[in-house]
Amino acid sequence: MTSPAIQRWAAFTDDPSGGNPAGVVLDADALSAVDMQRVAADVGYAETAFISGRGRRRGIRYFSPVAEVPFCGHATVASAVALAQTLGDGVFVFDATVGPIEITTTSSAGGRHAEFTSVEPWVRPLDERRLDAVLALIGCARDDLDPRHPPRLVFAGNAHPLVVFRDREVFDGFRFDAGDARRLMDDAGWPATIIVLREAGGGVWESRNIFPVGSIVEDPATGAAAAATGAYLRHTGAVSTPGSVRIEQGRHVGRAGTLHVRIPARGGITVSGAAVRID
């Protein structure tokens, strides 16, 4: 395999040391799935995106260091901003495993931003046994949950279990074993992250996303999870629709990022943020 050109970006931030790092390979037509997996493992980020085709509509595949994933929001944002550097701002369409993803880039004095709308989401009850397993993993009890926001299993491209904590101290202080988390997620068939939220007030939510892959334990800024969170907030009536929220994520792992989420009355959830080149 000829080594592909790999770009490294940080998404949902304007600071190369913040947000969520993503690898981007813009000319992946000749790469097999085995090649892509090898590259993603070498890059070591939560996900690397592989782009195929030409023009403003292209194929996209996402690989973590250990497996292919159906959808990755931060790598989608990074890929669109990377393409906009040469093709200019505007609308792009990525044909992903979960379906076509439309994403729009814009530029301002503060840099370049991208906005995507998720596939049609769904929200379901979280199995009681799985909920207890999640709480046991992070050393918490049901009394720590916010009674206003019930646990759910949420999909907006990937299936995520989602729990909301009542107290900031519990939210900030929980710990978990990465190996135990990986076994739980594999057993449950959860390909992405476990979402843990806290309502900060004023339309702001804090998020922590458990995601043990390779050397990564906790994901710093997760676009797919932000879309799932928007779907959850709509489904449970926690926000009026149409509406919007801001999600702050990553301070617990030293890579703070900001995700802006627009929540329509129906349909996909829109997530936007900045992206900046790391190298």
The whole-number mean pLDDT for each consecutive block of 10 residues of the chain, a chain of 279 residues, reads 89 96 96 97 94 97 92 95 97 94 93 94 97 98 97 95 97 96 95 95 97 88 95 97 97 96 97 95
* H/E stretch holding 91: strand 90-96
- What does the block give as tokens for 176? 């978990």
Task: Give me the pLDDT at residue 1, please.
Answer: 64
The answer to whether 95 touches 260, Cβ cutoff 8 Å, is no
Rounded Cα gap, residues 225 and 12, in angstroms: 13
Task: Give me the pLDDT at residue 2, please.
Answer: 72
Tally of residues, the chain: 279
Q: Which residues contact 249 (CB under 8 A, 6 or more apart)?
A: 12, 206, 207, 208, 209, 219, 220, 221, 222, 226, 256, 257, 258, 259
Task: Give me the pLDDT at residue 215, please.
Answer: 81
Rounded Cα gap, residues 149 and 254, in angstroms: 27
The answer to whether 153 touches 125, Cβ cutoff 8 Å, is yes
The two beta strands, 47-52 and 204-213, are unpaired
Largest CA distance in the chain: 54
Task: Give me the pLDDT at residue 213, please.
Answer: 82
Q: Count CB neighbours of 149 within 10 A.
A: 20
Residue ranges of domains in the chain, CATH in brackets? 7-116 (3.10.310.10), 122-277 (3.10.310.10)
